[in-house]
Structure 1
Amino acid sequence: MKRDLFDYPVQYVKGIGPKKARLLARLGIKSVHDALYYLPYRYEDRRFSPDIRSLRYETLQTVTGKVLSAHLVETTRGRMKIFEAVISDGTATLTAKWFNQPFMKKLIRPGISVVLSGVVKRSFIWGVGYEMHNPEYEIVDNDAQGENIHTSRIVPVYRTTAGMSTRTIRAAMFSILNHARENIIDYMPEDILKRNRLPSLKVAIENVHFPDYDNLEELQRGISPYHRRLSFDELFVLQTGLAIMKRAQSYTKGISFSAKGELIKKLIEKLPFELTSAQKRVIKEILSDMKSPRAMNRLVQGDVGSGKTIVAFSAMLQAIESGYQAALMAPTEILAEQHYMNLHGLIESMGLKSALLTGSRKEKPLEEISSGEIDIVIGTHALIQKGVKFKRLGLVVIDEQHRFGVMQRALLRKKGINPDVLVMTATPIPRTLSLTLYGDLDYSVIDELPPNRKAVITKLYRPEQKSLIYSFIRSEVKKGRQAYVVYPVIEESEKLTLKDAIQGKERLERVFPEFRIGLIHGRMKPHEREEIMNRFKEGNIDILVSTTVIEVGVDVPNATLMLIVHAERFGLSQLHQLRGRVGRGADQSYCLLLAYGRLSEEASRRLQVMVRYTDGFRVAEEDFNIRGPGELFGTKQSGMPDLKVANLLRDARLLEIARKEAFRIVQEDPELIKHPRLRSIVERFWKDRLEIFRTG
């Protein structure tokens, strides 16, 4: 596509002007290119025009007729002006009414022919006859644009903004498309179009906006050949960028870790359990990468409790044995603390040194890190700050949890001389999303849980069933087990009537005076949280009341019961994470979901998914189905470009095809020298994001 389409302001298109341009800008439409990719969100079929006498009430219909009369009516109090036009097609008459649109009298006059489209109403006055209120209209005799765009066809419907009706936007789109039509130049290689039976870009854009296509259902679902072409383009350009990154990384000289694996053997001997075959397989894949002279970029996926941390720790030991330091970056201070608490003892028992580095922690062992005295540094974003220098950073492990993007990964990489990068996800991700968020990484899956683990039984309760919940907690704790009770907020909010953790602890102390009840939340100081968690691990607390700070990384095998209060307020991923805190021992574990109030359809679906499924990969797929990809893992914060046309849920198969084509073209033409138009589009789409990988 010619570059000027990207930049040409819509204001200068004939029929738009400054006023409409300002309104279009509210919709994100500033340039002609913006307009062409502002797609209709639905379509209406206005092709068929039945006789007026056969119209059905309360249905959207299109009629054609001659105007018999037209006049302006003022209501008795003069607050509203109604323009009325009576039209006839020879079989019956219909009254069209436009409210507070007096300018209509200049447009619709007796004697002209019109096409009207709207919902058919029963006449207020006689109870018989037909009316339409504020119908779309087209003047047949004198259509200024020479073509029906509002009626007598499949009509696009756009999302609107204040001061701009869908009719106005439709007319604006028609003008812009007419202006741009001859400048739409295809950048997609011809062989790709032929291989995948895709129409030209010009034909696709024309037909997405003003379809000359009979399959209304395909248009509505966004799967017509024209939608498919535009979705393919977006996914192809996205994957081309990822392919360029991946290729650049594969040529980036990394560290060839030469250790024999003695520390890993020592670790395995110390573990009170045997690694699963999936853990062993993934460790082998990681060690193979680390031995290679190219920099490792690998994503490790696994369900809650599948043992990702031990896999990552094995990689760290390989780096340390080879004479390098390792860093583990977590998205929150609390998670960093929990990783530190869980690994610190194991690290020390192997004669190694570790440090915790977070923003709020006063003691920052910067000298020990820069001197190489510290083997493993565990921290948050603080690890990528300017003052932090490593002596020999060889491996970076990122506990991604969908909160770090490609930019943060690149910045941390710059802390060492091309250290290897291992990314762990806290919950599984549907394949389509992982190919997008992590398409530049190699991919390992720990698809097996440790043996003798029983699936957690999940039940849904309502407030009137609290006595059942309390009886269940009492029976479990009396068996010597421990329980979590999780609340969504820390202190009572005036706006939200949520049960807060502090009041919850007081309430539970009254219900269970015989049990020891503890409290942990995000506003506590790190050493206070550490003390509470240690007491719980040692069995000195029976019931731990908590906010979501125990979401990830806490491992107490004796805890068999999780009660989540106001479960309707949590997302599926978070609910599954919380449930993962129980079921870590040999005893049967339970997750009780207590939901308040009238549940929205989405909240109800989330809770039913929790009750039905325990497999994290299935939960992730269902979450993807319920919420869609956009907000599911915060793609906007991930450093990934936005997808305006493609839908990862709908276009999963198309994504796979686009990825293959993108990787093929980058393999053949790495710098896209032979494809200058495509190169320009890729750079536009990715902006400066690719540059960081070229220099990193």
Structure 2
Amino acid sequence: MPKLYADTNLQYIKGVGPKTAEAFYEKGITNLEELLQFYPRTYEDNRIATKIASLKPGSRVSLIAEIYSIQSNSHSRRHELIIQDSTGQISCSFFRLPYRGYFNQFQRGFKVKVSGTVSIYRGKLQFNHPQVSLLKKDEVLEDKLISVYPELSISSVKIRSIMDSALEAFNNKENIITLKEVLPLWLQKEFNILDLQKTLLNIHKPNIKDAEDFLNFKTSYQKRIIFEEFFYLQLHLALKKYGMIEQKSISMKKQTKLVNNFLDSLGFKLTDAQATAFNEIESDLYGTKVMHRLLQGDVGSGKTLVALLSVLTVIANGYQAVLMVPTEVLAKQHFKTAFSILKKLGFKTELLTGSIKAKEKKQIVEKLSSGEIDFCIGTHAVIQSTVKFKNLALVIVDEQHRFGVGQRNKLHSKACNPHFLVMTATPIPRTLSMTVYGDLDTSVLKEKPKGRQPIITRAIYENKKDKVWDFVLKQITAGRQAYIIYPLVEESEKLDLQNVTDSYEKLKNIFPKSVKLALLHGRMKSEEKDQVMKKLENKEIDILVSTTVIEVGIDIPNANIIVIENAERFGLAQLHQLRGRVGRGLHKSYCVLISSFKSSKESFDRTRILENSDDGFFIAEEDLNLRGPGDMSGLRQSGIPDFKMANIIRDVLTLKEARLAAFKLIKKDPKLELLEHQNLKSAYKKYSKNFIA
């Protein structure tokens, strides 16, 4: 048999034929070295002791049971096995079968081993797409951990067999398989990281003695892989930050007198947090380096005013500024505020959105190009190729997580090295901030301006809805206004529209005819939305029935109650955002979170967190812990690839270590030119192709 090398093609490994090789090629795995670094995503515990009655949502388990019933229909999308042991029953659901005729092997009474993650649906525990293996009547399972690999078009059993062959070749001294160690020796020693070879020999074939540590991702072998995944990301952020530090930009002159006069005209002082944030931004603008800063604030913390002060500083220096926001409703809200303030100071502000007619849009584009417009506020329309600025010096992106990386980059490229400010009213957990915004300097607004009313929040089930409508009517009668919010149905925009439209019709029959209701949703024409918002501001509407289109930016001081239906479908951070639409005036404000009976107790209890906290940063941390990093919008839109093994919640300490190591390395060798860093440089180049930006 010919000798094998690290770069030997997969097809020379025992058990790998052309079709199997193709399945690996699709994942970017072409040779022996890449195969050995195709790590298990988890492990099955073959020390079977789990009983159905003891199962908990979210746990990965294996158990032995017998088949109670089989429901499979070739015309139906759903296939189901009901299994049972001496303590109870549980459903195993399949929406796609591993292969045609998969269910033919099963019969009632057969003994099976089932492995998977326990989930909850309509209050009942179940397995979704578990691994089900037939067992012989008297078969005894060996005590061991079994590696479970990421999904391919071949089974985990086949992958394990191939991996056994690869490990055998790796251990065979006749072969010359030298794997490149990418982490420099000094870094391994300083951060107590195992070498790659030792890691590979143990990660695929875990020792049963270390079962608990392997199952909880606490072994030094797993730490090595997790550290390396985080390290590449942090290296990417460190290199970006170093590149930004090197970028020269326009240095602004101080506008202290103008800023102070402007603040005096408002009749109130900045909070300490606002003053600190603006001082940090001013310091960036007065320097010679490009500003790359994140301004994050809790709901109602006054970030818009801080941004406006930054704009004022730039346009008073004779340059232009642009603000891009995710929705027309929010763009118009910002424009209304900025236009009236800046006009008094002699500056011209303009609004640019997709709904503006071609003739008017052409005029705006010409004025931007000539420099006649100082400050432009808009939606995606501002990144169109026809939009050009004369001397753009400040780019602001509001609610950055709503935009893709490409959209943000397009706006940033409208000028040569403009200052860049990212804003969000969605507080970002520390771990997520290190991952998504690790290349930006950060300013935080936790303090709220004086006069903000606390919002009384209650979580209830839908059977108390009548009492809620009575309370809403009482507030309307007292002269207040209300919001009633319905969730998005992700599977279908039509269903979403139908849901809110049907509910609107029902509500019209519930409230007296004297109560004026209006409907607002994303599918409405821009003119219709404007009309609704104008009526709401003029108090011609008592109740606004809406989807989450009002999540950010709506400011109606007279609205003091918000009711959110099917609250269990929202994340905590989004509920907190929606709640922030009230509490903006002088009146006592209320938020009612209504959960469906179909929701689990866990989902209902989750909404109750908002009853006891109005701290957006605490709520964001709780949201991340409960929903997991994969469900957070910041990660989805950030351009960061999925981690193979790392988890930013579970592995936060390793994330911090990797960040420290990456920034230390870049400080030592900012261009990765040292000989000891060449393997790392090559590996990073390959890994960084996964990043969008």
Please state if 1:680 is matched with 2:688: no
1:147-546 paired onto structure 2 within 5 Å: 151=142, 153-159=144-150, 164-179=154-169, 182-212=177-207, 214-362=209-357, 363-364=360-361, 365-488=364-487, 496=495, 500-510=499-509, 511-546=511-546
- Greater relative contact order: 1 or 2 (C-alpha under 8 angstroms, separation 6 or more)? 2
* Cα offset, 1:533, TM superposition: 1.7
Per-residue Cα deviation, 1:37-91 (whole angstroms, up to 9, x for no partner): 4433433455899xxxxxxxx9969xxxxxxxxxxxxxxxxxxxxxxxxxxxxxx
* Contact residue 43 and residue 216 of structure 1 kept, 8 A: no
Tell me how far apart the structure 1 counterparts of residues 668 and 458 of structure 2 sit (CA, whole Å). Answer: 54
Which AA in structure 2 matches 1:154? L
Distance 1:490 1:166 in 2: 34
1:329–1:397 CA contact under 8 A, matched in 2: yes
SS of equivalent to 2:231? helix
Tell me, yes or no, if the aligned pair for 2:460 and 2:594 is still in contact at 8 Å: yes
Q: Distance in 1 between matches of 2:588 and 2:37?
A: 53
* Counterpart mapping for 1:24-35 below 5 A: 24=24, 32=32, 35=35
Letter in 1 for 2:325: A
Describe the SS at the equivalent of 2:395: strand
1:204 maps to amino acid: T
* Contact in 2 for aligned 1:492/1:500 (Cα 8 Å): no
SS of equivalent to 2:608: helix
Cα distance in 1 between the residues matched to 2:498 and 2:557:
27
d(CA) in 2 for partners of 1:554 and 1:5? Answer: 62
Pairwise CA distance, 1:500: 3.2
Measure, in 1, the Cα distance between the counterparts of 2:137 and 2:419: 61
Question: 1:321 offset after TM fit, Å?
Answer: 0.7
- Output the CA distance in 1 between the equivalents of 2:587 and 2:36: 59
Match of 1:587 in 2: 587
Q: Distance in 2 between matches of 1:680 and 1:472?
A: 64
In structure 2, distance between residues paired with 1:400 and 1:7: 45
- Native 8 Å contact 2:40 2:204 kept in 1: yes
Cα separation, partners in 2 of 1:47 and 1:599, compared to 1, 3 Å? closer
Q: Which has the larger radius of gyration?
A: 1
In structure 2, what is the Cα distance between the partners aligned to 1:571 and 1:59?
Answer: 30
Maintained 8 Å contact 1:320/1:375: yes
Cα distance, 1:320 vs. partner? 0.4
How far apart in 2 are the matches of 1:380 and 1:179?
57
User: CA offset at residue 407 of structure 1?
Assistant: 4.2
- For 1:685, what is the secondary structure of its paired residue? helix
Deviates most, 397-406 or 232-241: 397-406
8 Å CA contact 1:486, 1:548 repeated in 2: yes
Contact 2:144 2:208 in 1 (8 A): no
Which digits, 9 at most, give the CA deviation of each residue in 1:410-450, with x for residues without a partner?
Answer: 33222112110000113011111111111111011111111
Report the identity percentage.
44
> 1:581 offset after TM fit, Å?
0.3
| Inter-CA distance 586–31: structure 2 relative to 1 (3 Å threshold) | farther
Q: 1:291 to 1:135 in 2, by over 3 A?
A: farther
Is contact 1:369-1:389 (8 Å) kept? Answer: yes
The answer to which of 676-685 and 335-344 deviates more is 335-344
1 CA distance for matches of 2:489 and 2:390? 41
Query: What's the TM-score, normalizing by structure 1?
Result: 0.80
User: 2:493, 2:397 → 1: CA distance?
Assistant: 37
Q: Deviations over 1:147-180 (max 9, x none)?
A: xxx9564332335556x44322211222234445
Alpha-carbon distance between aligned partners in 2 of 1:541 and 1:6, rounded to the nearest angstrom:
70
Partner of 1:613: 613
Q: What are the Cα deviations for residues 73-122 of structure 1, in whole angstroms up to 9, with x where unaligned?
A: xxxxxxxxxxxxxxxxxxxxxxxxxxx99xxxxxxxxxxxxxx9969xxx
> Structure 1's 417 and 133: CA in aligned 2 closer, same or farther, altered over 3 A?
closer
Deviates more, 1:449-458 or 1:287-296: 449-458
SS at 1:373 equivalent: coil
Q: Residues 602 and 59 (structure 1 numbering): CA distance in 2 closer, same or farther, change over 3 Å?
A: closer
Question: Are residues 383 and 5 of structure 1, via their aligned partners in 2, closer, same or farther at CA, if it must alter by over 3 Å?
Answer: farther
1:541-579: CA deviation from partner (whole Å, max 9, x where unpaired)? 222222222110011222110011222333333222111
Q: Report if aligned partners of 1:41, 1:158 keep a CA contact under 8 Å in 2.
A: yes
The amino acid across from 2:525 in the alignment is: K
| In structure 2, distance between residues paired with 1:427 and 1:506 | 32
- Give the aligned length: 606
Name the CA distance, whole Å, in 2 between partners of 1:552 and 1:47: 50
Counterparts of 1:616 and 1:650 in 2: how far apart (Å)? Answer: 21
Question: 1 CA distance for matches of 2:531 and 2:576?
Answer: 26
Q: State the partner residue of 2:598.
A: 598
1:639 alignment partner in structure 2: 639
Structure-2 change in CA distance of 1:26 and 1:496 (3 Å) = farther
- The equivalent residue for 1:134 is 135
Residue type of the alignment partner of 1:676: Q
Q: Give the conservation status (yes or no) of the 8 Å contact 2:274–2:445.
A: yes
1:123 is aligned to none
Name the stretch that deviates more: 225-234 or 19-28. Answer: 19-28
Q: Distance in 1 between matches of 2:255 and 2:279?
A: 13
Are residues 688 and 174 of structure 1, via their aligned partners in 2, closer, same or farther at CA, if it must alter by over 3 Å? Answer: closer
Q: 1:504 Cα shift?
A: 3.2
Partner SS state of residue 247, structure 2: coil
Alignment match, 1:668: 668
Greater shift in the superposed pair: 454-463 or 372-381: 454-463
Give distance in 2, aligned partners of 1:406 and 1:531: 33
- 8 Å CA contact 1:453–1:585 kept in 2: the answer is yes
Find the aligned partners of 2:30 and 2:529 in 1 and give their Cα distance.
51
Structure 1 gap segments, 5+ residues each: 50-57, 62-99, 102-115, 120-131, 140-149
Structure 1 CA distance for aligned equivalents of residues 673 and 150 of structure 2:
39
Indicate the SS of the match to 1:582. Answer: coil
Give, in whole Å, the separation in 1 of the partners of 2:170 and 2:441: 41
Structure-2 change in CA distance of 1:59 and 1:400 (3 Å): closer
The CA deviation at 1:487 is 2.1
How far apart in 1 are the matches of 2:556 and 2:267? 14
Pair 1:294–1:494, CA change in 2 (3 A): closer
What is the alpha-carbon distance in structure 1 between the residues aligned to residue 491 and residue 47 of structure 2? 57
1:493 Cα deviation from its structure 2 partner: 7.5
- The answer on whether the counterparts of 1:492 and 1:499 sit within 8 Å (CA) in structure 2 is no
The separation in 1 between residues aligned to 2:483 and 2:241, in whole angstroms, is 43
8 Å Cα contact 1:491-1:501 kept in structure 2: no
Q: Deviations over 1:595-617 (max 9, x none)?
A: 22411466435423333332111
Closer/same/farther in 2, CA of residues 268 and 490 from structure 1, 3 Å limit: farther
Alpha-carbon offset, residue 272 of structure 1: 4.6
Deviation at 1:256, TM superposition (A): 0.5
Structure 2: gaps (5+ residues): 50-60, 65-100, 103-110, 115-132, 172-176
Q: TM-score, normalised by structure 2?
A: 0.80
Structure 2 CA distance, aligned partners of 1:238 and 1:491?
30
**Equivalent pair of 1:602/1:626 in contact (CA under 8 Å):** no
